[in-house]
A = this chain, B = another copy of it.
Amino acid sequence: MTTRVLEPPFLICNPKAYLGSADTLKLATLTDELAGEFGIDVLFTAQHVDLRMVSEHTKNLTITAQHMDPIVKGRGMGFILPESLVEAGAKAVVLNHAEHQLTLDVLDATMRRAREVGLATVVCADSDAQCRAIATMGPAMMICEPTANIGTGKMDAGDYVARTTKIVKEVNPEILVIQAAGVTDGQDVANALAQGADSSGGTSGIVQNPDWRQVLTEMFTAIAEHKKNA
């Protein structure tokens, strides 16, 4: 990675499968508007079926696929072709999420395909051992998440964020580390960045908040504060 697809500190907004197409577009355009106002980068994921639509209606977001397969043009019924993600406007792809884990062999092959087509890789890991192993494979970004905290609205009470960020950076300081498990407000985002993370944000902490504009503004504000003080 000589050029980064986005600059830290940045926000991750990862609605997973929580939103249908219309709601995804609403969240994306709102996030895009705020990203422009704050001048802060955003990694925004969407269901495959919505990627092109989100890409066409936004300008400040790094459009990111939630998964892809290591296939090449040909067979592969029902699998996700890397080339088509690029044609749809995606710049990055999340791999090996706790809810969608890959064998090491498939992860390795998919990371190679990402490099071939020019997608930045965002690879997920849980334990210290997994974080270290993945870091040696040279992803552009990593999402470190203690599986037990995903979707709980509570961050790890111990030193998970600081410890795993350090593990990754010691292996390869170029890797941008995203820490977002259990994050629900601006204070959580500030905490994650204060412990060394390059990015925070999340899924349920955003999409399940009744006021998207409010929670996103809080999170962008926390990132802007961190940036100013850096």
Contact = CB atoms under 8 A, between A and B. Distances in A.
Interface of A: 14, 16-22, 24, 47-53, 65-67, 71, 73-81, 83-85, 87-88, 94, 96-108, 111, 125-127, 129-130, 132-134, 136-138, 147, 150-151
Contact of A75 (B17, B77, B132): B17
Copies in the complex: 4
A22 B137 contact: no
Nearest to A88: B49
A136 B99 CA distance: 24
A27 B143 CA distance: 38
Contact of A130 (B73, B79, B101, B104): B104
Contact of A19 (B14, B16, B73): B73
Contacts of A138: 129
Contacts of A47: 48, 80-81, 84
24 contacts: A16-B76, A17-B71, A17-B75, A17-B77, A17-B81, A17-B84, A20-B73, A20-B83, A20-B87, A48-B48, A49-B52, A49-B87, A65-B78, A75-B150, A77-B100, A78-B99, A79-B99, A79-B100, A101-B103, A101-B105, A104-B104, A104-B107, A111-B129, A129-B136
Contacts of A88: 21, 49-50
Given A18-B74, A81-B47, A104 B151 contact: no
Contacts of A73: 17-20
Nearest to A20: B83
Contacts of A87: 20-22, 49
Contact of A129 (B14, B20, B108): B108
A45 to B, nearest CB: 8
Given A99-B78, A136-B136, A84 B50 contact: yes
Contacts of A133: 104, 133-134, 136-137
A101 B28 CA distance: 33
Given A17-B74, A48-B80, 4 more contacts: A21-B84, A24-B84, A47-B80, A49-B81
Contacts of A151: 75
